[in-house]
Structure 1
Amino acid sequence: MLQEYTTILAPIDGSSESELAFRKAIEVSKRNNAKLIIAHIIDTRAIQTPSGFEGDFTDEIIRQTKIMMDEYEKIAKDAGLTSIETRIEYGSPKVMIGKDLPDQYNIDLIMIGATGLNAVERLFIGSVSEYVIRHSPCDVMVVRTDLENKKVK
């Protein structure tokens, strides 16, 4: 019997790498008749600002994130998916993608974009995809190519 995935997580961050993974996640979801969960994690460490500015700054991040998520949901619907859920979460992207969301939604495949970090950046802050590969309780596919499996420059 072939492996069939039922719930696929496509974490997005607005990067071209996550866009590639999202596009492939749509196709894998269609082939498996799986639910697609599109998630964006707002890194709470990144939105800490000097006192007095948190409200406006955070509100703008949330507004832009909702617009982005609506666009991704529309793309998935236009591609023919009917079982789609979008999630905006707060916390550590590594932990949310690698542990919390898979446990919470019974995810059996995470399709994540390859990191754009260089070696020094990975050393100091680490790669989300690397963490997810090491800690996820389910299958993880790191996407590096487009829908025709050609490397993107």
Structure 2
Amino acid sequence: MLQQYNNILVAIDGSYEAEIAFHKAIEVAKRNHATLHILHVIDTRAFQDVSSFDSSMVEQVTETAKKTIDEYQTTAKDQGVAQVVSKIEYGAPKTTIARNYPKDHKIDLIMIGATGLNAVERLLIGSVTEFVTRNAPCDVLVVRTDIDGKPMKSSKK
């Protein structure tokens, strides 16, 4: 029996790894005739450290995210995904991607890019991808190769 996925979530953050995960998610969604959920989480904790908090910063980040997610949605539809949902959420990316969004939208597959964090960074701040793989209530596919199946070259130098 082949696994049939109905609701596929791909988390995007502007990174090269997330973009590759997105393109692979398009193909999986088409093969499964699934709804593709494109999610961008704005980490509100980043704004807590700003001493002179300015609501215009949140608006700027939101506007940039909206433009990006709209482009992704258009690309998915243009490439043949019949049902595409895009959403911007605010909060902690780890719990939003791993728990909240999947539960609220009956997600049965999460596709997420592998991170380029080194061991020290993972120890200090943790990896969103690692958290998602350990805590998601559904299958998680960590994208480690490019569209041609070759190991990705990290966008970080």
TM-score range, shorter chain: over 0.9
Cα distance in structure 1, aligned partners of 2:31 and 2:54: 43
**CA distance in structure 1 between the aligned counterparts of 2:40 and 2:19, rounded to whole angstroms:** 12
Pairwise CA RMSD: 0.9
Show CA shifts across 1:99-132 (max 9, x none).
Answer: 0011000000000000111110000000000000
Gaps of 5+ in 2: none
Normalising by structure 2, we get a TM-score of 0.94
Partner of 2:90 in structure 1?
90
Runs of 4+ in 1 over 3 A off after TM superposition: none
Q: CA deviation at 1:47?
A: 2.2
Q: Percent of counterpart pairs with the same letter? A: 56
Separation in 2 of the partners of 1:2 and 1:58? 43
- Separation in 1, partners of 2:143, 2:67: 24
Paired residues for 1:29-108 under 5 Å: 29-48=29-48, 49-51=50-52, 53-108=53-108
SS of the residue corresponding to residue 146 of structure 2 reads coil
Where structure 1 has 5 or more consecutive residues not aligned to the other structure, the ranges are: none
The count of residues paired between Structure 1 and Structure 2 equals: 152
Which residue of the partner structure matches residue 115 of structure 1? 115
Q: How far apart are 1:82 and its partner, in Å?
A: 1.5
SS at match of 2:45: coil
Q: Normalising to structure 1: TM-score of the pair? A: 0.96
